[in-house]
């Protein structure tokens, strides 16, 4: 008795061959000349007339033969697909992570759905915003935001000052150069807030997603190892269609 994963493995090849056979069959019956035949003989009016050899063309393609060949090819496809789909209805497995059953008795179709969704979730989690590692963060219980320790900085103001380069004399005025000095006038106290996540949390979420991904793949393989009963539906279908 075959297993479901064996049926899945051969299904693609059967589909490909059936498609080629249908395409060939369609092309053959569209070539009208291949389906046509003729036979003719010539008889002169009298014995002295010109004698011409008979002419004939054989029929090269019979539509009934094409139908029979196409039916044989498609019967295999119909049987393989029926076997796979019927088995998928009963093939099930538990999704288990670290000994804990997350999804019990999941059918193959749902396991395939989970696999796709978890790929998208992995991408989402991987791109979650992460707290700036250059800062020291703590959780503020009053806002439920992350915050930094207060940082005090000086606020300054530029104040002009005079620098006497040369004192005044009775012949020349004093030479004075104006420059600006930064004078402290106050203090800023800054606390930064963030709604991002610690890198540790993001890594933990990624690990969980990846564990579940592996568990789903394992469950799918387990479900696909179920034994199947070969279905024989193609003969009935084409017996009705072309019989």
* DSSP letter string, 152-202: EEEEEEEEEEEEEEE---SSS--EEEEEEEEEEEEEEEE--EE--B-HHHH
Torsion of CA 129, 132, 138, 139, to 10 degrees: -20
pLDDT at residue 1 above 70? no
Average model confidence (pLDDT) for the chain? 90
The answer on pLDDT for 95 being more than 70 is: yes
Report the run of H or E that residue 97 belongs to, with start and end.
strand 92-97
Q: Global pTM?
A: 0.66
Mean pLDDT of 170-179: 80
Tokens of 180: 């600006």
Q: How far is CA 179 from CA 155, 157, 160, 183, 185, in A?
A: 19, 13, 6, 13, 18
| pLDDT reported for residue 166 | 75
Domain locations along the chain: 1-42+53-91+226-243, 150-190
Higher per-residue confidence, 114 vs 51: 114
Q: Taking 90 as the threshold, does the pLDDT of residue 125 lie above it?
A: yes
Token digits of residue 218: 């394992």
The mean pLDDT of 157-182, rounded to a whole number, is 83
pLDDT of residue 53 exceeding 70, the answer is yes
Task: Using a pLDDT cut of 90, give the percent of the chain over it.
Answer: 47
Per-residue pLDDT band for 194 (boundaries 50, 70, 90) equals very high
DSSP state of 236: H
Query: Which two three-digit tokens encode residue 211?
Result: 């564990």
The per-residue pLDDT for 224 is 87
pLDDT greater at residue 153 or residue 229: 153
């Amino acid at each position: 008795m075959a297993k479901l994963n064996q049926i899945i493995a051969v299904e693609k090849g059967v589909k490909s061959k059936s498609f080629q056979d249908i395409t060939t069959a369609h092309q053959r019956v569209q070539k009208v000349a291949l389906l046509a035949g003729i036979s003719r003989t010539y008889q002169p009016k009298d014995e002295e007339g010109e004698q011409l050899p008979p002419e004939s063309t054989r029929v090269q393609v019979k539509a009934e033969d094409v139908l029979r060949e196409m039916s044989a090819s498609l019967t295999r496809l119909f049987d393989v697909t029926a076997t796979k789909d019927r088995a998928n209805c009963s093939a099930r497995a538990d999704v288990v992570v670290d000994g804990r059953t997350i999804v019990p008795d999941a059918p193959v179709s749902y396991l395939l759905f989970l696999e796709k969704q978890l790929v998208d979730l992995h991408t989402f989690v991987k791109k979650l915003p992460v707290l700036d590692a250059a800062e020291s963060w703590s959780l503020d219980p009053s806002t439920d935001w992350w915050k930094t320790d207060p940082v005090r900085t000086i606020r300054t103001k530029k104040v002009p000052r005079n620098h006497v380069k040369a004192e005044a004399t009775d012949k020349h005025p004093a030479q004075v150069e104006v420059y600006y000095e930064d004078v402290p006038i106050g203090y800023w106290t800054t606390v930064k807030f963030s709604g991002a996540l610690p890198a540790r949390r993001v890594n933990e979420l990624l690990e969980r997603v990846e564990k579940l991904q592996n568990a789903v793949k394992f469950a799918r393989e387990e479900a696909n190892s179920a034994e199947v009963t070969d279905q024989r539906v193609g003969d009935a279908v084409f017996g009705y269609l072309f019989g």
